[in-house]
């Protein structure tokens, strides 16, 4: 009887010690890549237990998520813990969404959250084009729309881009004019 009590007390003591040393905290991670302007709700997030030490104040916890959700201010990759600096209660991004149809195959590795430069060349007489120029720098890919069904209309793949609102008119003008538009992966750190 004494042995059973000692084993039980020892087990309870070890459990209490381990539980007391566990400094993990529940924080949110995004299920799928979230881009600027997107509103995150609890069902877009997964609860992860992480040991962050003093850094816990820098990540989104369940107590910090309002019922109306939060707006993403910078891209957060799928599975990434959500930093407090990547979300806000209001949309301050000043971005708009524009769909750009693809003229051919897209660059390899182009995924949601990728940064691209939008190049455009105006068509001139006899089927020629003016020299291309960057129309929008560092646009972010919000979605890649693939044709659906057996008979897809249009030229195929289209890319939904997040661009600064002040560049929307120029891009829509280029699209309406039939300019040649291509997406080129943006170099990291380019301006």
Of 2, 167, 25, 35, residue with least CA distance to 114: 35
Contact (Cβ atoms closer than 8 angstroms) between residue 136 and residue 158: no
Task: Please indicate, yes or no, whether the overall pTM of this predicted structure exceeds 0.75.
Answer: no
pLDDT score for 19: 67
190 domain-assigned: no
pLDDT, mean of each 10-residue run, the chain (191 residues): 89 78 81 90 91 79 90 91 89 84 84 90 85 92 78 70 92 92 78 45
Do 68 and 141 have their domain in common? Answer: no
Q: Which of 32, 66, 88 is the last residue of a domain?
A: 88
One domain for residues 174 and 144: yes
Domain that includes residue 134, residue range: 95-185
Q: Which residues of 151-169 are buried (b: 16+ CB within 10 A; e: fewer)?
A: eeeeeebbbbbbbeeebee
């Amino acid at each position: 009887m004494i042995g059973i009590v000692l084993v039980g007390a020892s087990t309870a003591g070890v459990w209490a010690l381990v539980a007391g040393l566990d400094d993990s905290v529940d924080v949110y991670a995004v299920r799928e890549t979230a881009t600027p302007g997107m509103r995150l709700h609890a069902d877009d997030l997964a609860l992860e237990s992480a040991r962050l030490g003093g850094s816990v104040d820098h990540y989104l916890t369940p107590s910090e998520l309002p019922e109306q959700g939060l707006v993403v201010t910078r891209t957060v990759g799928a599975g990434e813990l959500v930093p407090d600096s990547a979300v806000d209660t209001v949309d301050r991004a000043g971005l708009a969404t524009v769909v750009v149809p693809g003229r051919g195959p897209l660059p390899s590795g182009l995924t949601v959250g990728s940064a691209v430069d939008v190049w455009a060349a105006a068509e001139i007489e006899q089927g020629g084009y003016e020299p291309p120029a960057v129309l929008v720098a560092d646009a972010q890919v919000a979605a890649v729309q693939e044709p659906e069904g057996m008979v897809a209309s249009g030229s195929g793949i289209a890319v939904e881009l997040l661009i600064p609102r002040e560049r929307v008119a120029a891009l829509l003008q280029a699209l309406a004019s039939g300019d040649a538009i291509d997406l080129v992966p943006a170099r990291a750190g380019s301006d």
